[in-house]
Structure 1
Amino acid sequence: MSAPERSASLTRLARLGFGDLAVVADLLDEIKRDGGIEADVLLDGVAEAADPDAALGAVARIARRDPVALRAIAALPQGRRVLWALLGASTGFADFFLRHPEELAPIAGGGVALPSEAEMRASLLESVGAEEGFASDGSESAWVALRVRYRRQLALIAAYDLLHASPVDAVADVAARLADAAGAALEASLAVARTRVSGGAAGAGLFPRDQVAGAHLAIIGMGKTGARELNYVSDVDVIFVAGAAPALIDDIGESRVVDIATRLAVQTMRGISGVEIEPPLWEVDANLRPEGKQGALVRTLDSHLAYYERWAKSWEFQALLKARPIAGDTALGEAYVAAVQPKVWTSAARENFVDSVQRMRERVTEHIPAEDVPYQLKLGPGGIRDIEFTVQLLQLVHGLSDDRIRQRGTLAALDSLVDQGYIGRSDAAVFARDYRVLRLLEHRVQLRHLRRTHLMPSRPEELRVLARATLLADTGEQIWQVWESVKREVREIHVRLFYRPLLSAVAALPAEERALSTEQAHDRLAAIGFRDPAGALRHIAALTSGLSRKATIQRHLMPVMIRWFADGVDPDYGLLAFRRLSERLGDTHWFLRMLRDSSGAAESLTHVLSGSRYAGELMEWIPESAAWLDDSDLVRPRSGVALQEEARAIQTRHATVTDAMRAVRALRRRELLRTAMAALVGTLTIEELAEALTTITDVTIQATLRAVRREVVPPEDDAIDFSVIGMGRFGGRELGFGSDADVLYVYRANGVAPQRAHELATKLVAELRKHSEDHRVPLDLDADLRPEGRNGPIARSLESYAEYYRRWSLSWEAQALLRARGVAGSTKLIGAFMELADEVRYPAAADPQGLREIKRIKARVENERLPQGVDPSRHLKLGPGSLSDVEWLVQLIQLQHAHRVPELRTTSTIGALRAAEAAGLVSTAATERLAEAWRLASRLRSANTLLSGQTSDVLPADRQRLDGIGRLLEYPPRSATQVEEDYFGTTRRARRVFEKLFYG
């Protein structure tokens, strides 16, 4: 080559990223001469190399060892990309392929996709010839084969990682596959161990093969392995659990089973990390086991549980958070995890739990050598551990009552913490991004030499290689800036979340308001609206006395919250309810975290508790509901689909109707409370409220019917159809708080003997009513609207309904059917009943006599059904211009015109009223007056129940209570008179419309 040609060639090599150009040129010549690979071909793909010089040196060494293997992979475009990427990022892989050049061929097509867990497990088991849990060979050569095959899988993972367009986004998938590979390696090593322990290798300590096969060993992955967040080269933390079938234990004894399992564990660990011809893979660390290094390597499940019950420390439960079966006996592993999980998620209730976790994190930092602190990716301030400890602490504290955040993985846990409102979205987004960046840096520094390390490189040339390998920067200086920036962000969020600050509103309080004498506090409480200031002082003292962290936070919260309580409807009850709620939640720190970090949630809580005994009493039984106030989406009624899915899941989880109904009642109470809170914080219209309450009742009845049918109806009678029909305001989807659920029960024998079908239907009704009872929030299934009223059978066959309505039904029964709606049970039977109901409620021509009878009944109801001594004008249901006036008028119009006006065929009062307006049957002005009265009466009725916790249809005369109702309807304070005037005026106008249209 001439001098100008060589100069041009060197210039090109420099542009490709090479450093020592003369050496590189000589190596390319050598590879072409001895390996038969043209430089232009070989250099295609060099852009993938983080360190082109090191990669080319490795290629040259492999060419000297096995040029045929090198030519085979270099002949493929993807093979060249994989080769340059692996050798340019990892001297460890360079050494591996130098030892085993034959392993180049299997990875030539890598980088496109990650190998699956199943593929890796099958490959590693195949490498040791495993069948039915035993390897074909128990000698050291099996371990060598396993290690070589594992590194092949590792190379495939690394190729995907290094060739990914955005490796920071691939971190989670790569870490998961690394954990899967570790589990597969342990499974294969366990197969070798079984062969060795059962006689496959001399001197291994032999047991009969059938005993080895019968002895169960579960390998539990801990830490990053359990969370599927493993590094390329990291200790794999495990716990070993022994077990066996009862017959084997009876035969050889539990101690021998443990002996076998212990020998298996020792040999499994040796296969992974013992000294052999092929270097170890990683350290198998079993020091997280009970009693650590001093404890038995292998224990039975019962022995583990006994230890955790009596002696385990808080950090051990934190470690168990990520426990996952990764190899060995799956059933035993799952049983172990299932048994320890409840202990994990109750560990936060231990005394000083949070302080102990905080102190443990501080000790980790304190033990880092001073010279390593600036470089520590994992343990140092702003490193990986800051994120992991923060997330785990929040999980353990809030996971005590919220199973939605019980995740093993850090990123998955962050997502769930955000979803449930425990971490702000912006903080979590920064945490998640920085966690991926830190893990990517950690991966690359470990790939460099396939060696366990968590330190950023210090040499400029190594930083440059790291920048190229991560695609996070172009130069070493830039990658160091990325590292410093991430550290600052992580540390700032960690300190803020791990050591939660107080509410900004509390911090802004003037100093003179933070400390008052008892006399001053008494006078201040009386002045701002507390009727019993002495009682309020006792509640405040109970909340703030002591030296605990909780009491300290409460002392800072109280000045702000007392002012909010005083702005509420009933400050005294609100403070009492808050004290009860705080005591129920105990040391559950999410509650105080919410109050400190979200002044909106704290203010909403005071509004709810001081405004509603109904909600306050339910919150005492469902204290975790306070967290909903920190997320507006949670203080919205859930959809019927979501509730149905949960109700059906309950049925699959619980075998008996008693257990199922206990869960269904809990679901109903929780959703009633959610709806009440939504109404109290002003996010629901009266229509949305009615819809939500009706949906909750629908789902409750449906779930109850499914549960009782499973117990009542035997398989031989399963052909019987049974349905529940909603009537009245329930059928109209117009329930309020405290409303009864009017229903009819219908069945169809479908070949079951008639008498038997009636008996089963009657029993279904009895069980349905029995199991739907709830003393906290009663659900009265009222069947008085059935044919013949209380004197008629509780359930009828479809044919019996048809016969009755054809021969004997009265006008009021046709009127009642106007709001009939299928609720639960057989959809075909519901459809058939609705067809029958349509014939009765939508007659081709209304019977004049029947219409006159309805008007007569209405007048009688007004005179006879009003409670004695009640002012009719204050009755929200039966009084003039109230609910019944509007509903009866609408129903009269439906009976007269629904046959020819299909839009009137609805169970909704307001819907039918609007349809009548559209059809020209009611004027727009009349419609607005009737709708306004109906809505106001409905709102007042529900507000009355929310305020007092008791159902009442009478607008109270007590000024204080009436003012409270007005406040719930968003009137200003001291608006009792205005509430009365608005109601009386609205109902007077509606009554005039009613009398004109109903009796006219």
Structure 2
Amino acid sequence: MSLPSLVALPKSLLPLVSRAKELFLSAARDVSPQAADDFAAWPAERCAAFERVCAASDFVTEQVSRDPQMLLQLAEAGLLERPLRTGEMHTALNALLADCADEASLATLLRRFRNRQQVRIIWRDLTRQADLAETCADLSDLADTCIDLAYRWLYARHCEQFGVPTGRRSGRQQQMVVLGMGKLGAHELNLSSDIDLIFGYPEGGETTGARRSLDNQEFFVRLGQRLIKALDAPTVDGFVFRVDMRLRPYGSSGALVMSFSALEQYYQDQGRDWERYAMIKARVVGGDQQAGRELLDILRPFVYRRYLDFSAIDALRGMKQLIQQEVRRKGVAANIKLGSGGIREVEFIAQAFQLIHGGRDLSLQQRPLLKVLTTLAGQGYMPAAAVDELREGYEFLRYTEHALQAIDDRQTQMLPDSGIDRDRVAFMLGFETWDAFHERLLYWRSRIDWHFRQVIADPDEDELDEGEELVGGEWLPLWEQDWDEEYASRQLADAGFHDGHAACQRLAALRSAQQVRTMQRLGRERLDAFIPRLLAQVVEHDNPDLVLERVLPLVEAVARRSAYLVLLTENPGALQRLLELCAGSPWIAEQIARFPLLLDELLNAGRLYRPPQAPELAAELRERLARIPEDDLEQQMEALRNFKLAHRLRVAASELAGTLPLMKVSDYLTWLAEAILSEVLALAWHHTVARHGRPRRADGELCDPAFIVVGYGKVGGIEMSHGSDLDLVFIHDGDSNAETDGAKPIDGAQFFTRLGQRIIHLLTTQTTSGQLYEVDMRLRPSGASGLLVGSLSAFERYQSEEAWTWEHQALVRARVLVGCPQLAQDFERVRASVLGRERDLERLRSEVSEMRAKMRDNLGTRVTQAGMADRAFEPEGEFNLKQDAGGIVDIEFMVQYAALAWSHQHPQLLRYTDNIRILDGLEQAGLMTGDEVRLLQDAYKAYRGAAHRQSLQKLPEVVSGDQFHDERRAVMRMWRELGLS
């Protein structure tokens, strides 16, 4: 939202202004006549600001009356009208503490510094010179500065008294780590917030350098107590911050400070859901920053699970219910933080998505709530309009919270009862009256509550009409009670199953499966809640038997990771899409059962059925990998595989739904491979260069990278299908003999060979998420016996002098996928030169025909052209879409023959590598008629469409002989007309 408006002072607040001026001037005169004169000389704008601030805040009135010089100094330094520079607050307090002699002086200096900054921050907030972000950042920086500098001052004195704490294992000096939780951790502190802290230290040991050594834990417990006292204890100057340590392990009964290993053990063994929720915002606010980062890395797996964790919704729902019970018990519905539609509900919405998806989507692993909301919209987790409403409502509530706390520096979120304070709040929020403000507040709370219910509310929570049952309620007895097979079979048959007995047996097998029998209580409860919902949706399908058969393996596979069951229970739309995909394709059903993380893709129908274009695809993958540390190869490999699995599912789902035509399916699958190859090459290059340095070109320049990946076959021809492997050739343009410039130098030939090996390793290694692609390198010069990576000059020499005709046929479909742009241009020149030379057509026809005959004999259904009339066109016969006469390979060979035969006269035939556009080129060159080209293109698309459908059904590329008669005969006729045999 925009900043609240500045409205005129209401009459009810004018006496407060008069009183504030009188108190301030009296105090100023007591300091010196000059102080009063300085105030009188203020410009009108600053005087008006003084009136606004003092009318609204008794705290400011009290502080400037106690210390008028403080306000005058702030004004003279311009600090009331400008934001602080980065580090300015830290520098100011550090200078104050330089000559601090004892803890009493430390307490005084900290409190006076805090009060001065608090006055400045409230002044800028209420005069609308600072927005919400600046106010929260300044308050958080104030806390960070006070915590860290007070800790450092105390630590030095503590070491003088008790010795230096030293690690037993490492022998290194130990420092404490102060974690800020909640709003402090997220840099969102409010005007009168307490601070939630957790203390830790790296490792056990004892102090050295003192007469009597202390155990490290005892040292840090005493230090922590001193730090809390320095910040929290009330004195004549007030307090710095109220400190709350109840978020530490075991709460108030737990040790004040724990070692990292003890913290890790606690959260691993006993950490509860609310502690995961709290730890999202944890940030190092004092002490050893480096050790603090290590601690947060240790605890990250506790907070962010690697799988989709929809169980988090249940936990947050339970927390919210407890809060609501407390609100009702204490009668504090007017609490704008905890009440319905309050600040906490917005936080719960954001953190629900963080806990569910944050383990896999690293963009959600951030602390500030508004940034998380922006990510939710940007990544498609929530509609942008919903996020905009949540953002505006949240900001309105936070401005209201600051107004409530600015009045008297009290930690409150309760709306006031008194007329004066109500007038103050309305005035600070830019409203003429309390009623106008309150109406707007109720609007935002109702909108937030509505969005909260969409995300967090229990799907069974809504009131049911009289006599109405829960979703799937009719299936509860069948699943939960003692198994009556006859009754269960009859109920399943009556509901629409064609074979109720078989369906009954499948459910019985699931109940008795090892995975289910060994489930813990919570998991079993989730399964029992899910199965009735599943059956209720399954019976809505035309073939419920098939759907149940295909989906139950997934249920069994995720039984021990029951958060996936919660996902489907919480999201009926996702369950519906799952069943539709399983009904349409056993291949998809198998993929989801093998890789349940794919269930995440079912949550957003718009995203599922609309795969991104090539640039967005590449950008999304780059962004994912950019969030992973450079040295974490395992996580990078998992991210690549998860990305491929997700986008391959989206393409298959779109093809099944009919939203993506055949040619686009191949385009997307090819773009996916190219995006992955680009990142794999970057990772392999980074790793190899880190070990050996960069290789050199022949002219001595460093390579960057002077390397290309050439794609052949389906990837080269932009015709990939769901299970396609990658036919690749690696080419470099470095000096094979020159050494690299690293600490472990090797010659260029070795470098590029290791680079190629690294690429293959990244692509083919099996992880928990499978492998990226099968890789076939046999099309490189000299095949399997040749060098893994060769130079461009060697490639050109081989293709010009030694390559067989079939290798030139393969080169027709070759193109550079990723790598050095200049080398890619050079490769295209070589390819055009090799393919564009004039050939003996008779010899070419003979060699192409011989190769095709060998393939047909070895790979086809062994029906010769001469015997076609016998069985090949009959229902009992079979037609191999790819290898049989008149099929896909015949069309590919004709296209390749044409390109080799005529490209010396028509070089435009070499412009593209895909069959469809080469055929267009043949028509444009007048080498084929439009009818002939259309005939071949239509047959080619029909065959490939059928092959894709077979693939999604987990069937071979073979159909019955009574299909595609016209296409096959036409292709065979054109084969003969080209003189091929």
Please confirm whether the aligned pair reaches a TM-score higher than 0.5, indicating the same fold. Answer: yes
Distance in 1 separating the partners of 2:185 and 2:629: 28
Q: Which of 58, 61, 67 is the aligned partner of 1:94? A: 61
Aligned residue in 2 for 1:61: 23
2:438 equivalent to 1:480:
yes
Counterpart mapping for 1:231-270 below 5 A: 231-243=190-202, 255-270=214-229
**Alignment-derived partner of residue 966 in structure 1:** none
Quote the Cα distance in structure 2 between the aligned partners of 1:260 and 1:786.
67
1:815 equivalent in alignment to 2:809: yes
1:630-669 aligned within 5 A: 630-631=603-604, 632-634=606-608, 636-637=610-611, 639=614, 640-642=617-619, 645=622, 649=626, 653-654=630-631, 661=637, 664-669=640-645
- 1:442 and 1:124 mapped to 2: Cα distance? 27
Give the corresponding residue for 1:968.
none
Find the partner of 1:557 among 525, 533, 548: 533
Q: Is contact 1:463–1:476 with CA below 8 Å preserved after alignment?
A: yes
Q: Return 577-586 or 348-357, whichever deviates more.
A: 348-357
Distance 2:957 2:512 in 1: 38
For residues 672-692 of structure 1, the C-alpha deviation after alignment (integer angstroms, 9 at most, x for no partner) is 334333333333232232223
Residues 445 and 254 (structure 1), Cα distance of their counterparts in 2 relative to 1, 3 Å cut: farther
Please give the alpha-carbon distance, in whole angstroms, between the structure 1 residues aligned to 2:978 and 2:682: 44
Residue 733 of structure 1 corresponds to 718
Moved more, 183-192 or 480-489: 480-489
Counterpart of 1:125 in structure 2 is 94
Q: What do the CA deviations read for 1:606-636 (whole angstroms, capped 9, x no partner)? A: 1222333332222223212112122222555
Q: Equivalent of 2:957, from 953, 970, 984?
A: 953
> 2:764 maps to what in 1?
773
Partners of 1:405 and 1:413 within 8 A in 2: yes
- Paired residues for 1:18-167 under 5 Å: 19=11, 51-66=13-28, 68-69=34-35, 72=38, 75-76=42-43, 78-108=45-75, 109=78, 114-115=83-84, 118-129=87-98, 136-164=100-128
Of 550-559 and 766-775, the range deviating more from structure 2:
766-775
- Structure 1 portions without partners, runs of 5+: 1-14, 21-50, 130-134, 200-205, 958-979
TM-score by length of 1: 0.80
Residue correspondence of structure 1 range 967-986 to structure 2 within 5 A: 981=963, 983-986=964-967
1:872-883 to 2 correspondences below 5 Å: 874-883=879-888
In structure 1, C-alpha distance between the alignment counterparts of 2:794 and 2:472, rounded to whole Å: 75
Deviates more, 1:866-875 or 1:332-341: 866-875
Q: Does 1:609 align with 2:582?
A: yes
Q: 1:193 to 1:346 in 2, by over 3 A?
A: same
Residue 853 of structure 2 is aligned to residue 860 of structure 1: yes
Report the CA distance between 1:502 and its aligned residue. Answer: 4.7
SS at match of 1:455: coil
CA shift for structure 1 position 138: 3.1
Matches of 1:510 and 1:805 in 2, distance apart? 66
Q: Please tell me whether the aligned partners of residues 155 and 223 of structure 2 are also in contact (alpha carbons under 8 angstroms).
A: yes
1:387-398 aligned at under 5 Å gives the runs 387-389=346-348, 391-393=350-352, 395-398=354-357
Question: Which has the higher mean CA deviation after the structures are superposed, 488-497 or 815-824?
Answer: 488-497
Cross-structure match for 1:625: 598
* 8 A Cα contact 2:162 2:210, kept in partner: no
Q: SS in structure 2 opposite 1:744?
A: strand
* Cα displacement string for residues 326-366 of structure 1 (whole angstroms, at most 9, x for unaligned residues): 12211122222222222233599999976665444434343
Partner of 2:899: 894
From the superposition, tell whether residues 191 and 810 of structure 1 become closer, same or farther in structure 2 (CA, over 3 Å). Answer: closer
Cα deviation digits, residues 583-622 of structure 1 (max 9, x gap): 26413465125533x2xx3332112223333322222232
Q: Report the identity percentage.
A: 22
Matched, 1:782 2:782: no
Residue 139 of structure 2: which of 159, 162, 178 is its match? 178
Corresponding residue of 1:48: none
* Worse overlay, 989-998 or 728-737: 989-998
Match of 1:746 among 724, 731, 748: 731
Choose the corresponding residue for 2:950, options 939, 944, 961. 944
Change (3 A) 1:892 1:561: same
2: CA distance between counterparts of 1:415 and 1:593?
Answer: 27
Greater relative contact order structure (CA < 8 Å, 6+ sep): 2
Distance 1:376 1:475 in 2: 20
Q: Look up the match of 2:4.
A: none
Q: Work out whether residues 225 and 236 of structure 1, in 8 Å CA contact, stay in contact via their aligned partners in 2.
A: yes
For the Cα contact (< 8 Å) 1:190–1:328, is it kept in 2?
yes
Distance 1:418 1:590, change over 3 A: farther
Residue in structure 2 matched with residue 917 of structure 1 by the alignment: 923
| Structure 2 Cα separation of the partners of residues 349 and 839 of structure 1 | 53
CA distance in 1, matches of 2:332, 2:249: 31
**1:92 Cα offset (Å):** 0.3
**Aligned CA distance change for structure 1 residues 674 and 347 (closer, same or farther; 3 Å):** closer
Q: How far off its partner does 1:232 sit?
A: 0.5
Q: 727-736 vs 271-280, which deviates more? A: 271-280
Are 1:837 and 2:839 matched, yes or no? no
Shift of 1:562: 0.9
Task: Tell me which of 641, 653, 669 is aligned to 1:693.
Answer: 669
How much is the aligned-residue C-alpha RMSD, in angstroms?
Answer: 4.3
AA partner of residue 161 (structure 1): D
Whole-Å separation in 2 of the counterparts to 1:440 and 1:305: 37
SS at structure 1 position matched to 2:719: coil
CA displacement at 1:466 relative to structure 2:
0.8
Select which of 457, 472, 496 maps to 1:499.
457
Whole-Å Cα distance in 2 between the matches of residues 273 and 470 of structure 1? Answer: 30
1-structure distance, mates of 2:719, 2:912: 12
Alpha-carbon offset, residue 716 of structure 1: 7.1
Give the AA of the match of 1:867.
G
3-state DSSP class of the match of 1:373? Answer: coil
- My pick for the range that moved more, 617-626 or 64-73, is 64-73
Q: Which residue of 2 aligns with 1:300?
A: 259
Note the C-alpha offset of 1:438.
2.2
Could you tell me how far 1:94 is from its partner in structure 2? 1.2
SS in 1 for 2:959: coil
In structure 2, C-alpha distance between the alignment counterparts of 1:525 and 1:536, rounded to whole Å: 16
Residues 744 and 795, structure 1, Cα contact 8 Å, conserved in 2: yes
What is the distance in 1 between the residues matched to 2:88 and 2:643?
43
Unaligned runs of at least 5 residues, structure 2:
1-6, 479-486, 698-705, 740-745, 864-870, 874-878
Aligned residue for 1:66, secondary structure, equals helix
Q: 1:172 to 1:767 in 2, by over 3 A?
A: closer
CA, structure 1 residues 674+418, in 2 after alignment: closer, same or farther (shift >3 Å)? same
TM-score by length of 2: 0.82
**Equivalent residue of 1:746, what SS?**
strand
Displacement of 1:484 in angstroms is: 3.6
Separation in structure 1 between the aligned mates of residue 668 and residue 268 of structure 2, nearest angstrom: 44
Instruction: Return the offset for 1:216.
Output: 1.0
Measure the CA separation in 2 of the matches of 1:381 and 1:727.
61
Alignment of 1:315-464 (within 5 A): 315-346=274-305, 357-368=316-327, 372-389=331-348, 391-393=350-352, 395-399=354-358, 403-417=362-376, 428-464=387-423
Do the aligned partners of 1:661 and 1:707 also contact (CA within 8 Å) in 2? no
Instruction: State the distance in 2 between where 1:741 and 1:764 align.
Output: 17
Q: Which amino acid aligns with 1:805?
A: Q
Of 461, 466, 488, the residue aligned with 1:518 is 488
> Does the 8 A contact of 1:137 with 1:195 survive in 2?
no
Aligned position for 2:841: 848
Question: Are the counterparts in 2 of residues 604 and 629 from structure 1 also a CA contact under 8 Å?
Answer: yes
| Aligned positions of 1:181-220 closer than 5 A | 181-194=142-155, 196-197=157-158, 206-207=161-162, 214-220=173-179
Counterparts of 2:526 and 2:207, CA distance in 1: 52
Aligned AA (1:155): V
Structure 1: which amino acid aligns with 2:567?
F
Post-superposition Cα deviations, 1:4-61, rounded to whole Å, max 9, x if no partner, equal xxxxxxxxxxx964537xxxxxxxxxxxxxxxxxxxxxxxxxxxxxx44323421232
Query: Match for residue 34 of structure 1?
Result: none
Letter in 2 for 1:916: L
1:430-479 per-position Cα deviation (integer Å, ceiling 9, x unaligned): 444333222222211100111222211112332122111012x3211222
Query: Relative to structure 2, which stretch is displaced further, 139-148 or 938-947?
Result: 139-148
